[in-house]
Amino acid sequence: MTQHVDVVVVGGGQAGLAAGYHLRRRGLDFIVLDADPAPSGSWQHMWESLHLFSPAEHSSLPGRLMPAQTGETYPGAGHVVDYLTDYEKRYDLPVQHGTRVDAVRRDGERLLVETDTGTWRVKAVASATGTWSRPFLPALPGRGTFTGRQLHTVDYRRPADFAGQRVIVVGGGNSGAQIAADLTLDGHVDVTWVTERPPRFLADDIDGRALFDVATARRRALDAGRSDSGGVASLGDIVAVPPVRAARDTGLLHAKPMFAQLTATSARWDNGSHTHADAVIWCTGFRPALTHLAPLNLRRARGHIPTDGTRALDEPRLHLLGYGDWTGPASATLIGVGRTARDAVREVTGLLS
Ligand code: FAD
């Protein structure tokens, strides 16, 4: 059966909810289709000790400040789940959970949104599917021969799952540093942290607030035709959140260079040294979850869809929210996505009228 609505938002994480907030304010006819059975997008899947890299008041979606979490400057992932669950309810956003969008395709003046529960015929689509469902693991000699456990960031939950084991954590970004710190501070796991280049910690007083300001300033400079300051990447890779700082300051959080290959039971470096391992946790990033847009044939360099702001250049009825800075400054953060969602909905409103 084909149903009709003006706008479908694909994905009901923070980006989809921010879009929903602005669509609701403008009184548009829309629905949010979300594959997860429960609210909050990827936050419900993150590891137990994860804390935000910004205080609550700097991690808010439009309309409602995130309340502070008692006793915590940087709220935990569970607090974010509660906040987003409440947000969805508070604004009575029409989110249909447990519905996966398989394909978006052109159908004359309309777009067809095909899901596992039926098809929607719409005037515009906002895609907000994030990156969590597309973990990236690099190709590396011997990866297929390793007989221990191999996990990605998305699979990691808690140190107790590795008690008494030798674990290699791969990755010099925030996930790698935080998971290495989590395991190290636990004291029951033998941790080796490896990074492709020496880890670059941001200064201890720089958190998500400053990163947001830097990302915004960079966008403004680029828009005004000024030279690229390098943005957030020029400051470093790792926010020194309290657990990372604590592990680093104990002197236990040393990074080794990336190994050259895996064998059945160990990692081997080019200089012949090796480390036995029971598990390897790949904290090696994500790719945008854009498979459902494949029928539109919009992807270009590095798998991205070229956009003007959030609007797909080659399909003006499609907007992209979240994913990374390429869809707006800091649009893959709680505080940043509100602005890109507002701008996208303004354009969609223009398109519909
Ligand atoms: P998601 O939260 O991933 O939501 C996407 C939704 O789309 C999901 O509900 C999914 O089920 C749904 N979906 C996917 N595919 C389909 C489909 N085909 N059909 C229907 N539904 C679909 N940001 C901050 O601001 N502060 C932080 O401290 C912070 N820490 C982070 C720590 C980690 C480890 C990671 C990975 C990210 C962090 N981020 C942080 C970045 C960002 O805020 C999160 O990644 C956030 O979850 C992105 O929200 P999103 O709505 O774009 O995507």
pLDDT tens-place string over residues 311-353: 999 999 999 999 998 898 889 999 999 999 999 999 999 999 9
Pocket-testing residue among 333, 337, 339, ligand 1, by greatest number of atoms within 8 A of Cβ: 333
Give 29-74 as a DSSP string: -EEEEESSSSSSGGGGGS-TT-B-SS-GGGS-BTTBPPPPBTTBSS
State whether the beta carbon of 53 lies less than 6 angstroms from ligand 1.
Answer: yes
Atom of ligand 1 nearest to the CA of 129: 7
Instruction: Find the 33 Cα to ligand 1 centroid distance in Å.
Output: 15
Please give the structure tokens belonging to residue 192: 């080796």
- The mean pLDDT of 49-73, rounded to a whole number, is 94
State whether the beta carbon of 132 lies less than 6 angstroms from ligand 1.
Answer: yes
Neighbours of 268 (CB within 10 A): 16
In this structure, the residue with its CA closest to atom 27 of ligand 1 is 52
Q: How far apart are CA 164 and CA 162, in angstroms?
A: 6
State whether the beta carbon of 208 lies less than 6 angstroms from ligand 1.
Answer: yes
pLDDT at 206: 77
pLDDT at 236: 67
What are the domain boundaries of the chain?
Answer: 2-134+286-352, 149-201+237-282
- The mean pLDDT of 230-255, rounded to a whole number, is 81
For the four alpha carbons of 150, 243, 192 and 202, in that order, the dihedral sign comes to: positive
Per-residue model confidence as pLDDT tens digits over 256-311: 999 999 999 999 999 999 999 999 999 999 999 999 999 999 998 877 899 999 99
State whether the beta carbon of 209 lies less than 6 angstroms from ligand 1.
Answer: no
- Predicted confidence (pLDDT) at residue 231 exceeds the cutoff of 70: no
- Do the two domains 2-134+286-352 and 149-201+237-282 of this chain adopt the same fold? yes
Cβ–Cβ under 8 Å, residues 220 and 198: no
Pocket-testing residue among 129, 133, 292, 293, ligand 1, by greatest number of atoms within 8 A of Cβ: 129
Q: How far apart are CA 175 and CA 154, in angstroms?
A: 10
Confidence of residue 202 (pLDDT cuts 50, 70, 90): confident
In this structure, the residue with its CA closest to atom 43 of ligand 1 is 333
Atom of ligand 1 nearest to the CA of 175: 34
CA-derived radius of gyration, the chain: 21
State whether the beta carbon of 331 lies less than 6 angstroms from ligand 1.
Answer: no
Per-residue model confidence as pLDDT tens digits over 153-168: 999 999 999 999 999 9
Cβ–Cβ under 8 Å, residues 269 and 260: yes
CA distances to 79, 255, 267, 283 from 170, rounded to whole Å, are 27, 9, 11, 6
Q: Could you say which of 3.40.640.10, 3.50.50.60, 3.10.580.10, 1.10.760.10 is the CATH number of the domain covering 149-201+237-282? A: 3.50.50.60
Q: How far apart are CA 175 and CA 50, in angstroms?
A: 9
pLDDT at 179: 97
Query: Which CATH number applies to 2-134+286-352?
Result: 3.50.50.60
Atom of ligand 1 nearest to the CA of 99: 20
- Smallest CA-to-CA distance from 132 within 303, 322, 340 is with 322
Per-residue model confidence as pLDDT tens digits over 92-134: 999 999 999 999 999 999 999 999 999 999 999 999 999 999 9
In this structure, the residue with its CA closest to atom 15 of ligand 1 is 129
Instruction: Find the 268 Cα to ligand 1 centroid distance in Å.
Output: 34
Please give the structure tokens belonging to residue 312: 């797909």
- Predicted confidence (pLDDT) at residue 13 exceeds the cutoff of 70: yes
pLDDT at 252: 82
In this structure, the residue with its CA closest to atom 47 of ligand 1 is 42
Pocket-testing residue among 32, 34, 207, ligand 1, by greatest number of atoms within 8 A of Cβ: 34
In this structure, the residue with its CA closest to atom 18 of ligand 1 is 101
Cβ–Cβ under 8 Å, residues 20 and 42: no
Three-state helix/strand/coil letters over 265-317? CEEECCCCCEEECCEEEECCCECCCCHHHHHHCCCCHHHCCCEECCEECCEEE
Q: What is the mean pLDDT of the chain?
A: 93
